[in-house]
């Protein structure tokens, strides 16, 4: 009997939507666990007997059920806050409900025996930008000179010794954790990579409140988005310097700049694969700069990074098919 595929994400994840459609079109049984509707819309029963274990998960609305022992491949995409039947739980009750549900949720995931893209423990290990820079250097990448600090004087000194501009960017997410806050409490949408000018420096004492990541600004010829899916490497060239609005941070998708496939050398592909695999990941989305001197500079790796925006702009890079193929192939190897 073929093993089934479990997708763990949220109800508004278009990546999961597309891959699920492709899996179903190929006759594969797939179950989707949307964390933003869990446990409200799911039924769960885990029983430990004297010599056996049973684990059943069901979607209450659709009636679809899944024996977790039948799962052969798991794709963890984007987490989201849990949701309960009562939306107005008092603060302490909500905190307790979240703690109990997290315990159950992780008990489910960590007990699964199958192929992971990616395992939650590997994802978490791979998240930290400070550690990523250190590891990338070991894999032969140039990394920008970087300061992570909440000391204003250290920031001033760091800026003075840089040969060019200094940038600031977030350590966690440019979305400013907007997805973790109820809509009525959201104050801002995003914080993109920003050149720190003299006006910013007049209020640099504000870093006392929160550590920030500062880096030298690295001149760009163009940028690369390198997506690793299993053993496949998909590279897109992003000509961000064609427009001033994307020169510092290319993620202004209202600007029409060229995207095209990029052929990487076998040596660079090996480095990218090795970096991602060193965390135990089977998926990663790496951001690199190519300097005017054709030097590759590592910026970061997102173990749950998006790929559809690249696929839409560069259809030759059929990454959704690669994800689909990998999940099917790996699940069938675990019959």
Q: Which residues contact 145 (CB under 8 A, 6 or more apart)?
A: 162, 215, 216
Give 112-134 pLDDT, tens digit per residue: 999 999 999 999 999 999 999 99
Q: What is the pLDDT of residue 188?
A: 54
According to CATH, what is the number of the domain 145-216?
3.30.1490
**What's the DSSP call for residue 29?**
-
Dihedral angle at the C-alpha atoms of 178, 183, 189, 190, nearest 10 degrees?
A: 0
Average pLDDT of 131-155?
97
Q: What is the pLDDT of residue 288?
A: 98
Which residues, listed in sequence order, are joined to residue 31 by a DSSP beta bridge? Answer: 6
By percentage, how much of the chain surpasses pLDDT 70? 94
Contact between 239 and 258 (Cβ < 8 Å): yes
Q: What is the pLDDT of residue 183?
A: 56
Q: What is the pLDDT of residue 189?
A: 55
- Give the number of other CB atoms < 10 A from CB of residue 250: 23
Rounded to the nearest 5 degrees, what angle is found at the Cα of 282, between the Cα atoms of 277 and 285?
85
Q: Decide if pLDDT at 54 tops 90.
A: no
Task: Tell me whether residue 297 is exposed, middle or buried, using C-beta atoms within 10 angstroms of its C-beta: 0 to 12, 13 to 18, 19 or more.
Answer: buried
Distance in angstroms (rounded) separating the CA atoms of residues 68 and 268: 39
Q: Decide if pLDDT at 24 tops 70.
A: yes
Contact between 110 and 102 (Cβ < 8 Å): no
Please compute Rg for the chain using Cα positions. Answer: 22
Is the domain covering 219-318 a CATH 1.10.20.60 domain?
A: no
- Give the number of other CB atoms < 10 A from CB of residue 136: 22
Distance in angstroms (rounded) separating the CA atoms of residues 321 and 71: 20
Question: Counting every residue, how long is the chain?
Answer: 335
Q: Which residue has the higher pLDDT, 174 or 143?
A: 143
Tell me the average pLDDT of the chain: 92
Contact between 13 and 335 (Cβ < 8 Å): no
Distance in angstroms (rounded) separating the CA atoms of residues 121 and 163: 39
Structure tokens at 111: 């007990």
Give 183-231 pLDDT, tens digit per residue: 555 555 567 889 999 999 999 999 999 999 999 999 999 999 999 999 9
Q: Decide if pLDDT at 273 tops 80.
A: yes
Q: What is the pLDDT of residue 185?
A: 54
Contact between 243 and 268 (Cβ < 8 Å): no
- Per-residue pLDDT band for 53 (boundaries 50, 70, 90) equals confident
Which stretch of 239-243, 274-278, 293-297 has the lowest confidence by average pLDDT?
239-243
- Give the number of other CB atoms < 10 A from CB of residue 172: 11
Q: What is the pLDDT of residue 182?
A: 59
Name the nearest CA neighbour of 38 among 112, 97, 120.
97
């Amino acid at each position: 009997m073929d093993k089934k595929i479990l997708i763990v994400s949220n109800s508004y994840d278009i990546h999961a939507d597309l891959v699920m459609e492709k899996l179903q079109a190929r006759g594969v049984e797939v179950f989707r666990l949307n964390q933003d509707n869990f446990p409200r819309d799911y039924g769960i029963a885990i029983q430990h007997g004297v010599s056996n274990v049973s684990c059943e998960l069901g979607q209450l609305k659709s009636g679809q059920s899944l024996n977790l022992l039948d799962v052969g491949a798991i794709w963890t995409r984007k987490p989201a806050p849990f949701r309960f039947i009562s939306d107005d739980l008092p603060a302490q009750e909500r905190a307790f409900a979240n703690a109990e549900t997290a315990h159950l949720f992780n008990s489910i995931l960590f007990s699964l025996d199958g192929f992971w893209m990616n395992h939650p423990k590997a994802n978490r290990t791979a998240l930290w930008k400070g550690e990523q820079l250190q590891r990338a250097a070991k894999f032969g990448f140039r990394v920008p000179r970087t300061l992570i600090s909440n000391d204003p004087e250290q920031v001033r000194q760091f800026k003075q010794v840089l040969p060019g501009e200094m940038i600031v960017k977030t350590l966690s997410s440019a979305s400013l954790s907007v997805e973790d806050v109820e809509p009525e409490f959201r104050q801002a949408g995003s914080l993109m990579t920003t050149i720190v000018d003299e006006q910013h420096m007049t209020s640099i004492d504000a870093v006392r409140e929160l550590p920030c990541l500062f880096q030298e600004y690295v001149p760009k010829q163009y940028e690369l988005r390198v997506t690793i899916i299993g053993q496949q490497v998909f590279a897109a060239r992003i000509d961000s310097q064609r427009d001033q609005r994307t020169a510092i941070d290319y993620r202004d998708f209202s600007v029409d700049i060229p995207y095209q496939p990029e052929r990487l050398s076998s040596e660079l592909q090996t480095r990218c694969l090795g970096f991602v695999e060193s965390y135990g990941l089977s998926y990663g989305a790496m951001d690199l700069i190519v300097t005017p001197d054709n030097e590759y500079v590592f910026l970061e790796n997102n173990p749950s990074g998006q790929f559809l925006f690249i696929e839409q702009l560069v259809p030759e890079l059929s990454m959704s098919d690669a994800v689909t193929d990998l999940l099917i192939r790996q699940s069938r190897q675990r019959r």
